[in-house]
Chain A
Amino acid sequence: MSVHKINPNDWINQYSDYLFNYTITRVKDRETAQDLVQDTFFAGLKSMKNFKGEASERTWLVSILKRKIIDHYRRINSKKGQAEVRVNFSADSDNEGSWIEERVADPFDRTAEDTIENTELGLAIHNCISKLPAKQAQVFKMKSLLGYETEAICNELDITASNLWVIIHRARTAIATCLEKNWF
């Protein structure tokens, strides 16, 4: 019955960026996010037998990751104790009325909708990148997301500059088409 197969050898290449992006938008700290992703992969390995193949591998890993993130917040919350700070503006008569200005919405600030949209966009982009051939995905990531210089990439992967631009061109076209279908 199982439609989806599990194959841990490919996990890192296929899902690490997706999961990392998912985590970083929720914990805001690179190292913690990395640890959580690693924990997720380990936990996935341990419970591989329980994978029924009803969902895709990625969905399954994300559901583990969600648990890990919740656990993470529980842990830091218990460390912090129950300190609670309440700010009461009206008690301070000197500054009476001035709080209104602080509360006015900043038109240039991101709204909640924007933030949610951006989070989902990040996942959509990683989803599209993971559909690319491995080489294209790697080059595109190094160039666009990590911001490496052209020469550095050429040296590292041992390709010529024109070769690199062809790869970039194909990757960009593919990602644009993919996003058009799934995002816009």
Chain B
Amino acid sequence: MSNKKRLFIPCDEANHTCDKTQYHEASLWEKIKLNIHLIYCRACRKYTKNNTTLTKLIKNDQVECLETSEQNQLKNAFERELAKHK
């Protein structure tokens, strides 16, 4: 794997760190490296901006979705009903 002491990281690594930051899973050192990268990389700045916006939109409490168990429950009930109609 990459040398941990390296200060300048390539774009793919920066994007990876950015993705992790969205879920609060990046370490401090990774975040520092990401920010150093963002100073000089315009493309990644744009990606980070978009990514952060997306996270903010999703955090919005109006975005709901079914739990996996709830969905399975629904699926089972539906399949029973579907069998009747075949």
- A142-184 vs B, CB cutoff 8 Å, 1 = contact: the mask equals 1111100010000000000000010011001001100110000
Question: Cβ of B62 and Cβ of A9 under 8 Å apart?
Answer: no
B8 CB → nearest A CB, Å: 21
Given contacts A121-B57, A168-B19, contact A146 B67 (CB under 8 A): yes
A68 CB → nearest B CB, Å: 14
**Interface status of B43 (Cβ within 8 A of chain A):** no
Within 8 A of B (CB), among A4-21: 8-9, 11-12, 16-17, 20-21
Within 8 A of A (CB), among B38-81: 50-51, 53-55, 57-58, 60-68, 70-71, 74-75, 77-78, 81
Given contacts A45-B81, A172-B19, contact A25 B62 (CB under 8 A): yes
CB nearest neighbor in A for B71? A16
Question: Cβ of B51 and Cβ of A17 under 8 Å apart?
Answer: no
- In whole angstroms, how far apart are the Cα atoms of A12 and B62 in the complex? 21
Interface of A is mostly: helix
Residues of B within 8 A of A9 (CB): 82
Interface residues of A, count at CB 8 A = 40
Interface of B is mostly: helix
- In whole angstroms, how far apart are the Cα atoms of A126 and B68 in the complex? 15
- In whole angstroms, how far apart are the Cα atoms of A174 and B58 in the complex? 14
Residues of A within 8 A of B25 (CB): 150
Question: Cβ of A179 and Cβ of B57 under 8 Å apart?
Answer: yes
Residues of A within 8 A of B58 (CB): 125, 144-145
With A122-B62, A176-B53 given, name 16 new contacts (CB 8 A): A11-B78, A16-B71, A20-B64, A20-B65, A34-B70, A37-B74, A38-B78, A41-B74, A118-B60, A125-B57, A126-B63, A146-B67, A146-B68, A168-B19, A176-B54, A179-B54
